[in-house]
Structures are given as structure tokens and as C-alpha cells.
Amino acid sequence: MQPPLRIGAVSYLNTKPLVHGLRERLGHRATLSFNLPSRLADDLHQGKLDVALIPSIEYLGDPSYQIVSNAVIACRGPVWSVRLLSRVPAQEIRRLALDEGSRTSAALVQVLLWEMYQRRPEIVPLRIDQSPERVDADAVLMIGDRAMHPPPRYYREIWDLGDRWCRHCELPFVFALWIARSGIDASEAEVAELSQILQASRDQGIASLEQIAEREAASHGLTKEDLHRYFAENLHYTLGPGEKNGLAEFDRRARSLDLIPHHAPPSTKP
């Protein structure tokens, strides 16, 4: 018997509709684990995972990767959970702290700062366990759950990066996709079956947004109504023609600034 596929999903709140009922649908076909987007990308590249929901920029950086589902994390306007918080006017940012959780948003903010203000600030890390208040930077990029509750201090500008991109480019933005690495121990039929499972889980999640919001809201410091609105209005979960065009445009713009990762082949793979 073939070993079960190793699947990794993002641990953030925005993933809940994508993984609703997924573990049960997978059954014995696969194991499911959760982690930060950047760490999932590393594990997929190193062969520790077979399929993962990874930042879109990581997919763009490896031509051997295969999209295995049209279930994605995207937006067509304000996204709420990806924010730039600046203590100075954006055109004066010299030092930018980037949340280590997602590489797509890190590239996106650099694309926007360059195209809007011709700024290429010095980059410093913002660790997951580090308070934005304590980082020595003019501005910080925050993503995921903590971006929805920015620290209580004065900021000169706050950008919603989804809204900025969609207004600037007039295209949707794709943050993460389900990707399979090359050489996985699965047939085409098994990959096709997995694709159907991932899409069915997404569809079930979208049909259950009120239930998910009621279950998750209090533990994330949100009202059920706010969380339902976030799922239903801020996020988009299908890779359609507009999302594909937005992904291609992001690829072009990020590549022009040399922001697409260049991975060396892993030394070993299972």
C-alpha cells in the first residue's frame, strides 16, 4: 500500500472555510497538519509535505509545482487581515518590518511601495513572537489573526493591502494556493481525487460560514457578525479567470523587482 499523502494547511483564521470537514473527507488517504504559510512552503520544498496551502509567491518561484485545486485564498477588495501600519507617511518609509508568517504579503507590500512611491526600504524581520511596538522600523507589515487586532498606538497610515492592490491593478489578488510538489507518490487519478476533496471541503465551508463564525469568533476576539462578514465579503475562495490574471500580474511585477524566491534543489527527498 502507498503511504498516505502528507498535507499541510495554514493555521490562520482565513483558512477555516477551506478546511471545514477536510480531515474527515481525507480519511486514511492523507495526514493533515497545520502551520504558518512560510513554514509550509519550506516543508513542501524540502519534501516533508506532499501537498500544501502555500503562499502564491512560492508557487511562482518553482516551475515544478502543480496547482491541485481551484480552492484558494484570495480577495477582490479589502482583505482586513493583511495590513501595513506606518508611523510615517508611506512615501517616507525607510525601514520596514515584515511579518515572518507570509512571503506573498511581504512581496506585495514591496511591489506597492515601489510602484506608488519608488520606495525600496530596508527590510527587517517581525517575528511571530515579537510585538510590533518593539520593532525598530518606520512601518510594519502584519498578516493573519494579529493584523485584525492592530496594537493600540498612533499610526500615520494604515493600508489594507488587498484593497491597495485591487485599486492599483484593478485585478483580484491570490494569497495562497493548494500546491503539490513534483515527484509525489500518487497517481494522476489520486491527485484528481484529492482535488475534488479539497474543492468539496471549500464548498462545504462556504455553505457553513455562519456555523464556522459562531464557533471561532469569541476565541479570536471578534463578533460572530464581524467574522461572518470577513469570510463572506473580504475573502474569495475560488481561482477564477480574474484571479489567474491577478496572479500573472503579481508574478510580472514581483519578478521585475527580483522578489520571486530562487530555491536551490533540496538535497534529499523521500
Quick one: average pLDDT of 36-56? 94
The domains of the chain, with CATH numbers, are: 5-74+173-250 (3.40.190.10), 82-169 (3.40.190.10)
Quick one: average pLDDT of 75-99? 94
Instruction: Write the pLDDT tens digit of every residue in 215-255.
Output: 999 998 899 999 999 999 999 999 999 999 999 999 999 99
How much is the pLDDT for 144?
Answer: 79
Quick one: average pLDDT of 205-216? 97
Instruction: Write the pLDDT tens digit of every residue in 138-189.
Output: 999 988 777 887 666 668 899 999 999 999 999 999 999 999 999 898 888 8
Asked if residues 93 and 86 have their Cβ atoms less than 8 Å apart, the reply is yes
Quick one: average pLDDT of 26-35? 94
How much is the pLDDT for 263?
Answer: 62
How much is the pLDDT for 154?
Answer: 64
Q: Which amino acid is at 189?
A: A
pLDDT, averaged across the chain: 91
Quick one: average pLDDT of 103-132? 92
Asked if residues 30 and 39 have their Cβ atoms less than 8 Å apart, the reply is no
Which residue in 192, 177, 173, 198 sits closest to 72, CA to CA?
A: 177
Burial of 255 (0-12, 13-18, 19+ CB in 10 A): middle
pTM across the whole model? 0.92
How much is the pLDDT for 268?
Answer: 40
How much is the pLDDT for 269?
Answer: 40
